[in-house]
Amino acid sequence: MAERQPYSPLAKSLHWIIAALVLVSLPMGIVMADLHEGPLQDNLFVLHESAGVLVLALMFLRLGERLRRRPAASEGLTPAERLVSKATHGALYVLLLATPIVGWLALSAFGLGPSFLWLGHLPAPLAKDEPLSKALFEVHETLGLALLALIALHIAGFIRHRVAGDEAAWRMFPQAWRK
């Protein structure tokens, strides 16, 4: 296993790019489902699907970088805080991989592959099966809501560390931003 190190510039960049994609994609997914059919809904679906494809690809890079450069443990965490931190980060990784994969499978069972930036559709790995598609879309939505809850917990952890003034709050920010 790799020696523990600070987060690399690549890991920090991937963190913020994925965060931006997810924080745009989650509300977009909620809104687009309730719109009337038409160009606005179509464009939001393309953007949501494209964001999901990008999140999936970038998460594989992020996972590879994390395995290559294992981050150092935060100083000064209690055993309970360390457990919550590890569980939250592990669950975030699982959901950031599973949510777009389930979305892709749901679209596939619907009869489409995900759109990517109006350039075309990715392959559909499943045969068309509308009942399966409906079930998978429900799982996708549930995973998205769970992801939203974990993001809120992650942000609460940042706020807690920031208020406490400890170093953990700054691990994903550029060195120049530190006090």
**Angle value at C-alpha 120, between 110 and 24, nearest 5 degrees:** 75
Give per-residue pLDDT as tens, 71-94. 777 777 788 888 888 899 899 999
pLDDT at 179: 57
Q: Which of 135, 134, 114 is nearest to 125 (CA)?
A: 114
Tokens 């509308």, located at residue = 130
Mean pLDDT of the region 132-141: 97
Give per-residue pLDDT as tens, 3-58. 456 788 898 899 999 999 999 999 999 999 899 999 999 999 999 999 999 999 99
DSSP 167: G
Query: Which pTM value belongs to this model?
Result: 0.88
- Domains along the chain? 9-72+90-174 (1.20.950)
